């Protein structure tokens, strides 16, 4: 990816720094292949947090979706380029041309999906909202260009779903999560100085050592800042297929974050969710910034 990446994985793995304001984690290749060198990374723009619908001349536009809960219908959108024309060429990143992340403003209703694009550049996916409220739709992609392009972009817009929403309070911080019969334990602390976050996956009190590759990695971590849903998407260090999956993270400030760990096992993708509070305590090596 380009300068927007601010999360860091050290050693032989992915290096992405999460700093300045808030960034987007770089997408890596096959989990069993050697990771590229991302040690040189340039500074990140203060507005690079995924909350804008336009950046570097590219715009998320024509977003439409069902407006009532439990109303099935398509969710559609286009990405236009600097010339105002719908973009139809995207660089494959983690096995997909575009990644779409959706969450309600209270950080519930998380989904990580992959719509399809028609020849005219309209992306679409069958959709159904479970609850009323305001949802933010993130599109994570890399335009395919002949020259130097903008690199990875994350654009987003909101969708209002009719009805009286019942906002859910942010769950208290916890180092364990249960999902679909799996137990996931988190070790380490999110800090502004940089620190390792390690997730251990088990089932029936036995470690899971045969995690399945999902989108080119053994796990993916999406983080949304609780106060505003500022977004980042990161990937782990290379290593064995479980039970441990590690990331190196550097938070931009103190505050609460909602983490979503996607992993695949038994032919199904599972998502473990955590609430963490970042601190200013030093937790690891400080990584310099430079060009990705």
Lowest mean pLDDT among 35-39, 72-76, 143-147, 282-286: 35-39
CATH number at residue 78: 2.60.40.10
Residue 76 lies in a domain: yes
Average pLDDT along the chain: 81
Asked if the structure places residue 35 within a domain, the reply is no
Which residue would you say has higher pLDDT here, 10 or 135? 135
Query: pLDDT confidence of 64, banded at 50, 70, 90?
Result: very high
- Report yes or no on 78 lying in a domain: yes
What torsion, rounded to 10 degrees, do the Cα atoms 114, 24, 268, 275 define?
Answer: -130
d(CA 100, CA 73): 17
Backbone phi and psi for residue 196, each to the nearest 5 degrees, phi listed first: -90, 135
The angle formed by the CA atoms of residues 100, 107 and 75, to the nearest 5 degrees, is 35
CB distance 162 to 249 below 8 Å: no
- Tens digits of per-residue pLDDT, 214-225? 998 899 988 898
18-58 pLDDT, tens digit per residue, is 333 333 333 222 333 333 322 222 223 445 689 999 999 99
Band the pLDDT of 190: cuts 50, 70, 90.
Answer: confident
Query: Which domain does 133 fall in, by range?
Result: 54-161
User: Which pTM does this prediction carry?
Assistant: 0.80
In a domain, 169, yes or no: no
- Lowest mean pLDDT of 114-123, 165-174, 245-254, name the range: 245-254
Q: Are 143 and 153 in contact (CB under 8 A)?
A: yes
pLDDT level of residue 281 (50, 70, 90 thresholds): low
Distance CA(113)–CA(227), nearest Å, equals 23
pLDDT at 283 over 50: no
Total domain count for the chain? 1
| Residue 154, domain member (yes or no) | yes
The verdict on residue 223 lying in a domain is: no
**Higher-scoring residue by pLDDT: 213, 234:** 213
pLDDT at 118 over 50: yes
33 located within any domain:
no
Residue 173 lies in a domain: no
Q: Which residues pair with 259 in a beta bridge?
A: 223, 274
What the block records as the tokens of 159 is: 């969708």
């Amino acid at each position: 990816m380009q300068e927007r990446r601010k999360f860091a994985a050290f050693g032989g793995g992915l290096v992405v720094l999460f700093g300045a304001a808030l960034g987007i984690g770089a997408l890596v290749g096959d989990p069993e292949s050697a990771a590229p060198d991302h040690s040189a990374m340039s500074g990140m723009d203060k507005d690079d947090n995924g909350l804008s619908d336009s950046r570097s001349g590219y715009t998320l536009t024509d977003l439409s979706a069902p407006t009532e809960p439990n109303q099935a219908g398509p969710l559609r959108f286009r990405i236009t380029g600097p010339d105002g024309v719908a973009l139809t060429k995207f660089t494959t990143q983690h096995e997909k041309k575009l990644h779409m992340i959706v969450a309600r403003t209270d950080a519930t209703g998380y989904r990580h999906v992959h719509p399809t694009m028609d020849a005219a550049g309209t992306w679409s996916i069958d959709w159904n909202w479970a609850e009323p409220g305001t949802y933010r739709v993130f599109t994570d992609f890399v335009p395919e260009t002949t020259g130097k392009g903008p690199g990875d972009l994350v654009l987003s817009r909101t969708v209002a779903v009719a009805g009286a929403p019942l906002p859910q309070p942010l769950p208290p911080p916890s180092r364990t999560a249960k999902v679909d019969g799996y137990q996931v334990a988190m070790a380490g602390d999110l800090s502004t100085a940089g620190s390792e976050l390690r997730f251990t996956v088990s089932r029936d009190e036995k470690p899971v050592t045969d995690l399945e590759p999902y989108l080119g990695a053994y796990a993916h971590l999406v983080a949304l800042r609780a106060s505003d849903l500022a977004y980042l998407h990161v990937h782990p260090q290379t290593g064995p297929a479980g039970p441990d999956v590690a990331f190196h993270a550097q938070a931009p400030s103190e505050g609460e974050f909602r983490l979503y760990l996607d992993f695949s096992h038994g032919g199904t993708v599972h998502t473990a969710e955590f609430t963490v509070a970042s601190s200013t305590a030093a937790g690891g090596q400080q990584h310099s910034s430079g060009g990705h």
